[in-house]
Structure 1
Amino acid sequence: MLPAVNLRPPFNITRASHVVLHVSDLARSRAFYVGIVGLVVSEEGDGVCYLRGLAEACHHSLVLVQSRTEQTCKRIGFRVFFEEDLDSAYAFFKSEGLAAEWVDVPHQGRTLHVDDPIGTKIELCAQMKTLPRMYLKCESFTGAHAQRLDHYQLLAPDTYALCEFYSRLGFRNSEYIAHGDKLLGAFMYRKGTCLDLAIVNGEGPRLHHFAYTVSESHNIFTACDLAGNYGYAASVERGPGRHGPGGMLFVYLRDPDGHRVELFNSHYQTIDIEIEPVRWEAASLSTNVRWGIPAPARWYFEATRFAGTSLIEPAEKPNPETLESYALKLSSQN
C-alpha cells in the first residue's frame, strides 16, 4: 500500500521550516498573525514582514509579502542539515528533470529553489539567522502563543505518486488514509514527530494549510475568542476538535486573504525505526472521528494556489462527508 522509504536519502531534509505568502494588505495580515495566532515580528519593511513562533530561534517561519495582484503561496521551506546537502539536492532535482535554481534570500544562507513533480514550489536552506527565543517573555505574549511551525498539508492529484517521491527523500509515514488499495492521505515526517508534510488527494498542487503548535490546549480556544473579538468569527473554519489521525486538539483559521492556518497541541514521537504506520480506513473515517461535527465543504476543496503553477485535477474527485451532507442526512431522518 505504501511506497518503500529510502532510509539513506540523497540529501538530508530535517524539518518543515518556513512558508512565504503573498498577502493583499500587509498591515492587516500582520495584525492577524500577531494578535490572533500569537507570532512575534522578527523584522519588517519594504513590503515584507518576517515572523516566528515564541519557541523558534531562527529568524522566520512565516514571511508575508505584499502583493496587490495575487494572494498565493510563494514557497514552502524545508531545512537540510549540511551545506553539502544543498549541492546534493541540486544534483538530484536536475537528474530528475525538475526545476532547481540557486537564489539569494535575506536572512538565510545559501538557498535552493526547486519544484517537486507536480510543481509545488519549495525552498531549501541549511542556515538561517538566529534571534533569542521568546517563550519565557510572558509579558510580551499575544494571541494564541504559537510556539513553532510544525507541518504543511498539500493537495495533490495522485497521493500515492507524490508520497512515493517524498519517500525517496527519506520521508516516512506515521499514519495514512486508504480505501481498499487506494491511498488518499499520507502523513509524512522527517523530524521525529508524526508530521512535516501531509499529502491529501485533491486538485493541486495547492497548500491546504500550514500549522503551528501551541503549548497549552486552552490557547486553541483563546484563538477562537480573539478571532471573534477582532471581527474574524467567520474565519474559525473547523473546530475546535480532536483529530483521529494524530489525535491532536486543533482549530483551523482563515487569514484575511483566505490562507488557512492550523493551531494544535503537538503530537507523539516517531523516531524509532520499528514503528509501523497506522492505517485509517476512509470508508469508516469521518471528520468528527473523535468528537465534533464534520468540516464544511470549503475545508476540503478550498486551498491556496502556488505562484506560477497550473492545477491538475485528480482522476477521481474526493467525496468526503461534509457539514452540508451531514446536515442534509440529519434533516432527512427527521
Structure 2
Amino acid sequence: MLPAVDLRPPFNITRASHIVLNVADLEKSKHFYTNIVGLVVTSETSDTVYLRGLSEACHHSLVLVHSPDAAYTCKRIGFRVFLDEDLDAAYKFFKDEGLDAEWVDVAHQGRTLHVSDPFNTKLELCATMETQPRLYLDKDKFKGAHAQRIDHFQIFSPNTYDSCAFYGRLGFRNSEYLAHAEKLLGAFMYRKGTCLDLAIVENSGPCMHHFAYIVPESHNIFTACDIAGIHGYGQEVERGPGRHGPGGMLFVYLRDPDGHRVELCDGHYQTIDTEIEPVRWDAATLSTNVRWGLPAENRWYFEATRFEGTPLADPAVKPNPMTLEKYVQSQLA
C-alpha cells in the first residue's frame, strides 16, 4: 500500500520551515496574520512582510509578497536542511532526476535552492536563517491565537502514491494515511519527529491546500474564531473548530483576505522511533474526516491555492468525499 522510505536519504531535510504567498493588499494581509493568527512582524519592506510565530527564533515562517497580478497564488513552500552541504547534495539529486533546481539569493536566509518535485510543486530549501529573540514570554506582544510555530503544509497532487514515493526517497516517513480499498488517497508525512510536516492528498494539482501553525492552548483556537468574526472574517472560519481523526488534533481552518487557507491546531504526538507503523484510515468513513462535529463544506475539499505559474493536472479519478452539502441532503432524504 505505502511506498518504501529511505531512512538514509541523499540529503537531510529536517522540517517544514516557511511559506511564501502572493497577496493583493499587503496591509490587509498583515493585519489578518498579526491580529487573528497572532504572528509577529520581524521585518518589512515596501512590498514584503516577514512574520514568525512567538516561539520561533528563525527570522520568518511566513513571507507575504505584494503581487497584485499574481495574488491568490503561492510562490514556494520551504523546508530546512540540516547542513549547508545538504544543499549541494539536494542540487545534485534534483538535477539527476531531471527536475528544476537553481540557486537563488533570498533575504534573511543563507544559501537557498529552488527546486520542484515531479508534479511541479514549488519548493525552497535553505540551511540557515538570521535569528531573532523568541517572544513566547513577551505577553505584551500576544494577539489573536498566539501562534507559536509553523508546523506543516498540505498539498494536492494528481497522484498521491507517486508523490508519496518521491518524498519517501527524501526520508519522509508516514505517520498515518488515507486509503479506499487498495488506493492511497492521502499521506501524512514527517521529518521532524512529530506526525506531520507534509500532507499529500489526491486532487487536481499541484496546489497548496493549507499551511498550519501550532497554538499553545486549545482555547486559542476559539479566540481566533471570535476575533475573525469581529474583524469581518466570520464567513471565512471555513472548517471547525473540531478534532481530526488522523493526528487527533483540535483544529480550525481560516481563509485569509486572498483565500489562502491557514490551519490553527494544538500539538502532535511523537513519531521518532523507527518501529512505529503508519496508521491506516478508511477514506470513506465519516470519523476519518472529523471525530466530532459536521463534515467540511465542498470548498474545503476542492479549493486550494495554485502555485505561481504552474499548470494543473487532474487525477485519474476525481475525489468524492462526504461534504457538508451531501451530509445535509442525506439527512433530509
TM-score range, shorter chain: over 0.9
**Partner Cα separation in structure 2 for residue 103 and residue 327 of structure 1:** 49
Task: Give 1:41's aligned residue.
Answer: 41
Pairwise CA RMSD: 0.7
Q: TM-score with structure 1 length normalisation? A: 0.99
Other-structure match for 2:230: 229
The amino acid across from 1:34 in the alignment is T
SS at match of 1:177: strand
Q: Which residue of 2 aligns with 1:56?
A: 56
Mapped to 2, the partners of 1:124 and 1:196 lie a distance apart of: 14
Q: Which amino acid aligns with 2:61?
A: S
Amino acid at match of 1:198: A
Q: Secondary structure at the match of 2:315?
A: coil
Amino acid at match of 1:50: Y
Indicate the residue corresponding to 1:68 in structure 2.
Answer: 68
Q: Quick one: distance in 2 between partners of 1:216 and 1:93?
A: 40
Cα deviation digits, residues 149-191 of structure 1 (max 9, x gap): 0000000000000000000000000000001110000000000
Gap change, CA 1:269 and 1:146, over 3 Å in 2: same
Q: Deviations over 1:37-64 (max 9, x none)?
A: 0000000112000000000000000000
CA contact (8 A) 2:286 2:322 kept: no
Q: Does 1:215 find its partner at 2:216? A: yes
Output the amino acid matched with 1:316: V
Instruction: Report what 1:29 is aligned to.
Output: 29
Once residues 154 and 16 of structure 1 are traced to their aligned partners in structure 2, the CA distance between those partners, rounded to angstroms, is 13
- Deviation digits for residues 58-88 of structure 1 (CA, Å, limit 9, x no counterpart): 0000000001112210000000000100000
Where 1:69 maps in the other structure, the secondary structure is: helix
Mapped pair 1:155 → 2:142: no
Whole-Å separation in 1 of the counterparts to 2:45 and 2:289: 42
What displacement does 1:290 show?
Answer: 1.1
CA distance in 2, matches of 1:21, 1:134: 24
Q: How far apart in 2 are the matches of 1:308 and 1:274?
A: 41
Trace 1:96-245 onto structure 2 (pairs within 5 A): 96-245=97-246
Specify the SS of the correspondent of 2:70: coil
Measured after TM superposition, the shift of residue 322 of structure 1 is: 0.3
**Unpaired runs of 5+ in structure 1?**
none
Is the CA contact 2:284–2:321 (under 8 Å) kept in the aligned structure 1? no
Contact persistence 2:251–2:263 (CA under 8 A): yes
* Unaligned 5+ runs, structure 2: none
Which letter does structure 2 place at the counterpart of 1:45? T
Distance 1:26 1:36 in 2: 15
For the Cα contact (< 8 Å) 2:242–2:290, is it kept in 1? Answer: no
Residue 289 of structure 1: CA displacement? 3.5
- Cα deviation, 1:232-273, whole Å, max 9, x if unaligned, reads 000100000000000000000000000000000011000000
Code of the aligned partner of 1:6: D
The answer to whether the aligner puts 1:10 opposite 2:17 as a matched pair is no
Question: How many residues matched?
Answer: 332
TM-score by length of 2: 0.99
Matched, 1:92 2:96: no
Are the equivalent residues in 2 in contact too, given 1:194–1:268 (CA < 8 A)? Answer: yes
How far apart are residue 228 of structure 1 and its match? 0.3
Cα distance 1:16–1:288, how it changes in 2: closer, same or farther (>3 A)? closer
Q: 1:256 to 1:287 in 2, by over 3 A?
A: farther
Opposite residue 97 of structure 2, the aligned amino acid is E
Comparing 249-258 with 283-292, greater Cα deviation is found at 283-292
Query: Equivalences for 1:245-260 in 2 at 5 Å?
Result: 245-260=246-261
What is the identity, as a one-letter code, of the residue corresponding to 2:170?
A: L
Deviation at 1:287, TM superposition (A): 5.7
